[in-house]
Amino acid sequence: MNGAPDQADPPPVTSAALPVDGVRLLLALRSRMLSNTLRQALRERPLRLLSTAASIVVIWVGLYYLLERTLRIVRQPVLEGIVATPLIFTFFFLALTAMLAFSSAILAYGGLFRRLESAFLMATPMAARDVVIVRYIESLVLSSWSLLLLGLPLMMALSRHFSEPWSFYPLFLGLFLLFIPVPGALGLVLAWTVAMVAPKTPRRIIILVAGLLLVLGGGWFYRIIYAPVSSSEWLQHFYDRIALVQNAMLPHTWVSKGINLAVQGQTAPAAFYLFVTAANALFASFVAVGLVSGGFTRAFARAQVSARGSRRSGRLLGWLSDVVFAYLPWRQRILAAKDLRSFLRDPLQWSQMAILIGLLALYVGNVQRWWVDLAQPGLHVLIAFLNQTAVCLILATFTSRFVFPIVSLEGQQLWLLGLLPLPRSRIIMAKFLFALTITLLAALAVMGISVYRLQLPTGLAVAHLGASVAVCIGLCGVSIGMGARMPIFTERNPARIAGGFGGTVSLLLSVALVVASLAGLGVMSLHIARTGTDDTLTGAMLGWLLGVVALNVAAAAAALAVGMRHFGRLEY
């Protein structure tokens, strides 16, 4: 109307206007961050990096000999061995499916809906599909890297027992790697579904689903274990029960059949299952990424809603802390309740210990079925010692990884803790008693099951339960004491706190304490096995037990004294 030339409307923003290399950009950023972290570790903590590499090599060698021995036993010419040999990979990859799906769901939910970086990426001209793809790749890597370490010793153990052609190695690695995206895609969809359906209690829903599947699988496995004794009845019962897990439509069946065919030298059928696994892995990833990216914005918005049941859960946790920590004075009980809330709100802390302790409890609960010759003299003493060793090593890992950072995580609240009518030594003692209570509940539960199922005599049972209490005292004292002596108040990530110099020192001290304690228990067990005096608590048994108790109490007292002294002098 004014004679001015008409200005064309700006073109609409379409997907073509968005950066097409979002995945490449984010992956390049991740690779640069990883390389910087490795260079920093080589420059600042070369000893820790070398010790980690050496530990991985030791674990590889140990797994190789363990798997080699297992395959040797399975291949014995008995009915169970003949039947179990072609099915060993079926159960192995079935278990991997459940574990990978569960861990991928937790990692994907945290990466997509809980990390601040996701909110930042949504505000950038970055396609939702690119963000989901990168988070999906991250969840696959983080959930499966430890399982990949298992693949190499398993492949070498198989090559020792079977005469495979050269094609076995690429087929095995291909099947093992291409299987991982299938449960990973399931975990990604599960995380998105939880964000859409139950955003206020995501962890609870994931844990409940995993727990339900675990109960169902445990019941099914229980029926297999407690089968008829005769050969014909056992074989019929066994095949009836495993027919479900050998369904040709299940991914773990493709991988297990492919590996079995590769072991037998049938390259063409094994390659067929390799292509089937690859095609389904790509298809599952495509469907999962498309589904999640299409509803990512809505799911992200729903996942930010605070839980209405927080007040109810707070009351429940308050009641639970009052029951568990009833022996503490009320001021220290408040601190222990706070630590309990922080512990339960982080599934990365309690889920790992729950899985390890649960698997160990499942083993010791069925130990009479695994060891059919428990009547052999001294065998029950050996098994009890091995169970004690497993419990102690798990506790050493848990305390070094999760108990050590407890004091450092109070860095931002240190000024607030200083206002409490408590000396700082009481604060450290409250955290020690909190960690001791949690570890005692786990250790005594597993060792109690072990004592009951092995039907240990009273003297030996008292010795093992007393040693468990002593080791818990020592490990918790060392972790809390060293955490107070070498805190890192500027870091909020527990993994980085545990991975620092103080965490390394705490881990080495914990391992040394466990080795010394197990050495005393080992000498006591050897003495019992040779003399057969396990009915009562003899003088020799009492002497070794008191030595283990004194060692752990002294270590805990020394570490706590050093930590309290340093923590009391800190400025805030």
**pLDDT computed for residue 156 by the predictor:** 77
pLDDT above 80 (res 418): no
pLDDT above 60 (res 356): yes
pLDDT above 60 (res 473): yes
- More confident of the two residues 64 and 18: 64
In tens, the pLDDT along 231-268 reads: 555 555 555 656 666 677 888 888 888 888 887 778 88
Mean pLDDT of 189-193: 88
Q: Which single residue is written with the structure tokens 């069925």?
A: 366
The single-letter DSSP state of residue 282 is H
- Residue 9, C-beta contacts closer than 8 angstroms, at least 6 positions apart: none
Q: What crossing angle do the helices spanning 128-161 and 267-294 adopt, rounded to 10°?
A: 160
Q: Which segments of 329-468 are extended strands (E)? A: none
- More confident of the two residues 416 and 477: 477
The single-letter DSSP state of residue 492 is -
- Nearest alpha-carbon partner for 91 in 288, 241, 285: 241
The single-letter code of the amino acid at 293 is S
pLDDT above 70 (res 316): no
Which tokens is 539 given? 């003088």
Supply angle C-alpha 190, 193, 195, rounded to 5: 110
Angstrom distance (rounded) from CA 91 to CA 344? 31
Q: How confident is the model at residue 557 (pLDDT cuts 50, 70, 90)?
A: very high
pLDDT above 70 (res 125): yes
Contact 451, 532 (CB under 8 A): no
Q: How confident is the model at residue 550 (pLDDT cuts 50, 70, 90)?
A: very high
Percent of the chain with pLDDT over 90: 10
Average pLDDT, the chain: 75
Q: Which single residue is written with the structure tokens 């228990």?
A: 521
Q: How confident is the model at residue 16 (pLDDT cuts 50, 70, 90)?
A: very low
Mean pLDDT of 465-471: 91
Angstrom distance (rounded) from CA 472 to CA 552? 8
The single-letter code of the amino acid at 83 is V
Q: How confident is the model at residue 290 (pLDDT cuts 50, 70, 90)?
A: very high
Lowest mean pLDDT among 29-38, 64-73, 133-142: 64-73
pLDDT above 60 (res 78): no
Q: How far apart are the first and last CA of the chain?
A: 70
Angstrom distance (rounded) from CA 176 to CA 255? 7
How many Cβ atoms sit within 10 Å of the Cβ of residue 368?
Answer: 14
- CA dihedral (67, 70, 76, 79) positive or negative: negative
- More confident of the two residues 421 and 113: 113
pLDDT above 70 (res 311): no
Contact 541, 467 (CB under 8 A): no
**pLDDT computed for residue 560 by the predictor:** 92
Percent of the chain with pLDDT over 70: 67
Q: Is the pTM here over 0.75, yes or no?
A: no
Counting other chains too, the contacts that 213-220 makes at CB distance below 8 Å and 24 or more residues apart are: 213/98, 214/98, 214/358, 217/98, 218/362, 220/244
| HEC secondary structure over 127-173 | CHHHHHHHHHHHHHHHHHHHHHHHHHHHHHHHHHHCCCCCCHHHHHH
